Structure 1
Amino acid sequence: MLLVGVSTCRSQQLEVVSKDAVQEIIKDTKYVLVLFFYDMETCPWCVAAEKELLKVNTMPDLYDHAILIIKCEDPGTAVKYGVTTVPQVVYFRDGVPALFEVPQNAREIRTMDVEIFVEEAQQVAIKTLDDDSFEHLTQAATGATTGDWLIIFYRPSCDSHLSAVEGAGIKLRHKMNVAKINLDGSPRLEKRFKIKDCPTTYFFRLGRMYHYFSEDPDQYRVHQLISFVSTWYKNVKAESVPIEPTAFDALTEGIADYLKDLMHGPNRGKFLLGLGFILGIVSLVLAIVAATCPCRRKEVKLE
């Protein structure tokens, strides 16, 4: 059984930490378990969860750092890390959040479940991909020999679901790859996959991809992500993985985008006038060439 370190002196309550202090603790502490809760007087499940976390065993010499356990009541911080119901626990490893999801059809957070989760989650599961590494590592369009991939495309402004994807990745660690792509640093992938919504998640399998729909924010739950990549993806239309554009494709697309910007830009009138002038000159030159061409139809003599 996993034993984690909190302190050698037990108290009857976890320390309540403000939203600003939580950010500092996550930044400066290697391992942090945060219990998100609302008013303890009106949330008996939160009280029970705190009692369970207080029973987590301590043994600091198992890891290079002890695991700090705190609690936070700030709703904004909870939402930031993908918490949609309370009580809920998020485990931070070097600042990377992993959502611990209470087992389905239950509201209890049990000591044993937390210990198992922490043991499984010591190493971060989610990989980071970008324009340069995506195709090389996934081979999504060229054979898919590296296995299946669950990938979330996101921006820092819509990254609250990363904790749920990481939580799913921990459970799927030996079955498939789980990764994230920051669209702000991967413009080519954003164009290639025509990403419009943030976040957007795809499951890549055997050269095909399946869109994980998440119109309801609550759908980004650990068990739902696992269910999707296990069986539910079969109910979604399979799409072909877009081929990685060549250098020529990029050049022609760049020219097309440039012309499109001119067409819809503030100098549209001047652009159309100049384009008309150029086309007129080209037409005149072609007409002159046709009129002065020395070519004549050969006469065929009949003998």
Structure 2
Amino acid sequence: MAAFKAHVDLFRFLLLWFVVQVHVGFPGVVSGNEILELNANAFDELSRENKCIVVLFYEGDCENCNNIVAELVKVSVPTVTDLKVGKSKDKTLSGRFGVTEFPSVLYHRKGHPILYDGEVSGDELSIWLEAAQEVSTQLLTSDTFEHLTQAATGATTGDWFVCFYKPSCENILAMMDTVAFRMKQRMNVARVDLTESPELEKRFSIQHCPTGILFRHGKMYRFPPGKFSVKLIMSFLESWYKNVQAEVVKPEPSPFDNLVETIVEYLKIYLEGPWGSWMKIGFVCFVLILLILIWILRRAQPTHRTSTRPKTD
């Protein structure tokens, strides 16, 4: 009887020890992350409270998703105390970040998303999360573009791949930060919000949203529109850009150039407006009157004829 009681006490002790280990988180015992089920609204609410969120995007019957979730339970970032982990099959949420391949893992930190493109294992993913804490994509504006890139004045700051976008296509940003992370120490990767820098939209004749341009040695190479993916962008930057027609980088416009362009734009607006026909007629009349005045002035000038008869004493 005493032996049985001793075994019961030992069992209770071991059970209590295990519970304490799990809750306190002693080394060697994994308590695990809670995997949240997220939609767009739940994500927005969570992101207001937590700066760092890892999300697994999946669809339908995902054969590999259980394995990925098991790895996500184990991820940790020593420098992040409020890391949240979730999974989602909400197409609205995945579309917001430009996710087109499933399953995909996204890390949303401090309002900036980045896509994970490696093998999903707890240790490898944790190392990547720690390394990807800082945003790798640089922000350029009309005021800083030429100073930082020197695209038309020497390119001494290295090659630059720049993504020009507007709010309507900002779902490209997660992909761009993935490219920037992979191209560290090899190439500068930047983004330009065209709503904040419309001058650059005119300077580089941006026709598509988004538009990617590689600036290299005074030349610019446009990434084919509508074909954005991390794999294709990496291939383009490494060698494929050589198959694209190179364009000479336009110099930064001077204040006089901007003035002339502004005048031309205003003339286009007025000529295409309801008063355009009258302005055209008025311009033609002005030219005719000017020509008539020039003709009259030329006719009014006295003619000086040189005499060819010899002088007589």
TM-score normalised per structure 2: 0.84
Q: Is it true that 1:151 corresponds to 2:162 in the alignment? A: yes
Is this contact kept in 1: 2:160–2:187, CA < 8 A? yes
Query: 1:99, 1:222 within 8 Å by CA — same for their partners in 2?
Result: no
Q: Once the 2 structures are TM-superposed, how far is the Cα of residue 205 of structure 1 from its aligned partner?
A: 1.1
CA contact (8 A) 1:15 1:70 kept: yes
Structure 2 residue 39 is matched with structure 1 residue 18: yes
Count of equivalent residues: 284
Match of 1:4 in 2: none
Supply the distance in 2 between the matched residues of 1:299 and 1:29 (Cα, whole angstroms): 100
| Partner residue, 1:43 | 62
The alignment partner of 2:191 has SS state of strand
Other-structure match for 2:138:
127
Which of the residues 90, 100, 112 maps onto 1:84? 100
Q: Secondary structure at the match of 1:35?
A: strand
Q: Report the CA distance between 1:16 and its aligned residue.
A: 0.5
Looking at structure 1, the residues matched to 302 and 122 of structure 2 have their Cα atoms a distance apart, in angstroms, of 95
Q: Which letter does structure 1 place at the counterpart of 2:55? A: V
1:191 partnered with 2:191? no
Structure with more relative contact order (C-alpha pairs < 8 Å, separation 6 or more): 1
| Distance in 1, Cα, partners of 2:292 & 2:174 | 64
**Cα-to-partner distance string for 1:44-74 (whole Å, 9 max, x where unaligned):** 1222211111122x36xx3254322112221
Q: Structure 1 residues 12 and 253 mapped into 2: Cα distance closer, same or farther (>3 Å)?
A: closer
2:86 partner SS: strand
- For 1:296 and 1:32, locate their aligned partners in 2 and report how far apart those are by CA, in whole Å: 92
Q: Percent of counterpart pairs with the same letter?
A: 36
The CA RMSD measured in Å over matched residues stands at 2.2
Tell me: CA distance 1:279–1:12, structure 2 relative to 1, closer, same or farther (3 Å): closer
Q: Choose the corresponding residue for 1:99, options 109, 115, 136.
A: 115
Deviates more, 1:91-100 or 1:245-254: 245-254
Could you tell me which residue of structure 1 aligns to residue 192 of structure 2? Answer: 181
Quick one: structure 1 residues 301 and 16, their matched pair in 2 at CA, closer, same or farther if it must change by over 3 Å? farther
Task: Give the counterpart of 1:277 among 282, 285, 297.
Answer: 285
Instruction: Give the distance between the partners of 1:155 and 1:114, measured in 2 at CA.
Output: 31
Segments of structure 2 that go 5 or more residues without pairing to the other structure are: 1-23
Counterpart in the other structure of 2:16: none
Mapped pair 1:171 → 2:178: no
- Runs (4 or more) in structure 1 with deviation over 3 Å come to 7-13, 294-303
Q: Are the counterparts in 2 of residues 151 and 201 from structure 1 also a CA contact under 8 Å?
A: yes
Amino acid at match of 1:54: V
Is the 2:52–2:80 Cα contact (8 Å) retained in structure 1? no
Matches within 5 A, 1:211-290: 211-216=222-227, 220-290=228-298
Matched, 1:30 2:16: no
- Describe the shift of the 1:165–1:300 C-alpha distance in structure 2 as closer, same or farther (beyond 3 A): farther
Contact 1:46 1:86 in 2 (8 A): no
Report the Cα distance in structure 1 between the residues aligned to 2:201 and 2:178, rounded to whole angstroms.
25
Q: Name the residue aligned to 1:67.
A: 83
SS in 1 for 2:143: coil
Q: Structure 1: which 5+ residue stretches go unaligned?
A: 1-6, 104-108
Kept in 2: contact 1:138–1:146 (CA 8 A): yes
Q: State which structure, 1 or 2, has the greater radius of gyration over its C-alpha atoms.
A: 2
Residue 251 to residue 295, structure 1, CA distance change in 2 (3 Å): farther
Deviations 1:178-213 (A, max 9, x none): 100011111110000000100000111111111111
SS in structure 1 opposite 2:64?
helix
Q: Distance in 1 between matches of 2:172 and 2:106?
A: 12
Equivalent pair of 1:38/1:46 in contact (CA under 8 Å) = no
**Post-superposition shift, 1:302?**
6.0
